[in-house]
Amino acid sequence: MLKRLVVALASIPFAMIATARADAVSDFYTGKTISMVIGNGAGGTYDLYARAIARFLGRHIPGNPRVNIQNMPGAASYIGASHVFNVAPQDGTVIGSISAALPFQPLIDPNSPKLDVPRIQWVAFVVAAVFAGLAGSLYAFSKGSLSPDSLGVGKSVDGLVMVLLGGVQTLVGPVVGAVSFTWLQDTVARSTDYWRAMLGGIVLLLVLAFPQGIAGFVGQLADRLIDRRRSGA
């Protein structure tokens, strides 16, 4: 009892700091509009993903700002990326959705438009670390405790399988892979004692059937349907 009381009292200053920080962010975004710049044309895979995120993004940002979509296609999303990194205000009111391979283009073609590749990489690392920390916190909260097995190689392998299953170069691929892998694991584990071998075989077949991942396959299928509708019109 005394230990819990000490922990609770020690956490009060951190809670006050977090609350003050949240209030400052809320005051900044209240009444503002976030522009989401999409480096691809309307109707494509990147456009669909960005619009799906923009639909709910404002609800999860303190101050609940509006989110507007702005398509800037051209030069494999270089135009949109150049606007976000070189022209748009760097205050959190402009975000971008660009091609996954774009940061590596200056390394391949020195004459291509310049982008700050290390900066893009660091931003990606920070965002990935935030989501990884959030996932770890939710895992600890759901399990009630953590053991050394939670940091084992098997967990890293499971994460890799989830990404491969859902799709590597898609924004929602890891989420789709995580949901699919978890559902398969729970379903197969209840049906047989040899569930590990069966689960491995099913995952292997899915990866071979969908090399681009489940989300990538769905995105390609959606692109084909859109192209057929446009050609038919």
Burial degree of 112 (CB within 10 A; 0-12, 13-18, 19+): middle
- Within 10 Å of residue 34's Cβ, how many Cβ atoms? 17
- Whether pLDDT at 29 is above 80: yes
pLDDT band of 8, cuts 50, 70, 90: very low
Question: Which of 206, 226, 228, 227 has its CA nearest to residue 217?
Answer: 206
Q: What is the pLDDT of residue 233?
A: 61
Tell whether pTM > 0.75.
no
Q: What is the mean pLDDT of residues 89-95?
A: 82
Return the pLDDT at 17: 44
Query: Residues 122-178: pLDDT tens digits?
Result: 887 888 888 888 877 887 777 777 777 777 777 778 878 888 888 876 677 888 888
pLDDT, mean of residues 106-117 = 65
Q: pLDDT higher for 43 or 37?
A: 37
User: Of 18-27, 162-171, 183-192, 216-225, which range is least confident?
Assistant: 18-27
Strand partners, 67: 34
- Judged against a pLDDT cut of 70, whether residue 103 lies above it is answered with no
CA–CA dist 156, 173 (Å, integer) = 17
Helix (H), strand (E) at residue 37: strand 33-38
What local confidence, expressed as pLDDT, does residue 78 receive?
Answer: 78
Query: What architecture is the 32-102 domain classified under in CATH?
Result: 3-Layer(aba) Sandwich (3.40)
pLDDT of residue 10: 44
Local confidence band at 22 (pLDDT 50, 70, 90 cut-offs): low
Q: What value does the mean pLDDT take over residues 65-94?
A: 81
- Say how many CA atoms lie within 13 Å of 155 toward its Cβ: 11
pLDDT at 82: 78
Sheet of 66-71, strands arranged across: 66-71, 33-38, 94-97
Residue among 85, 82, 97 at smallest CA distance from 42: 97
Q: Which helix (H) or strand (E) holds 113?
A: none
Q: Mean per-residue pLDDT for 208-213?
A: 82
* Residue 4: pLDDT band with limits 50, 70, 90: very low
Angle at alpha carbon of residue 154, lines to 153 and 158, rounded to 5°:
120
Q: What is the CA radius of gyration of the chain?
A: 22
On the question of pLDDT at 1 being above 60, the answer is no
Beta bridge partners, 97, equal 38
- Between CA 213 and CA 222 the distance in angstroms is 14
CB-based contact 68:35 (threshold 8 Å): yes
**Rounded mean pLDDT, 27-47:** 82
Residue 18, pLDDT > 70, answer no
Please give the structure tokens belonging to residue 4. Answer: 């819990």
Report the distance separating Cα 54 and Cα 34, nearest Å: 9
CB of 93 within 8 A of CB of 35? yes
Domain extent listing, the chain:
32-102, 151-219
CA distance 209 to 51: 28
Span 175-192, average pLDDT: 86
Question: Would you call 56 exposed, middle or buried from its count of C-beta atoms within 10 A (0-12, 13-18, 19+)?
Answer: exposed
Cα–Cα distance, 133 to 61 (Å, whole number):
18
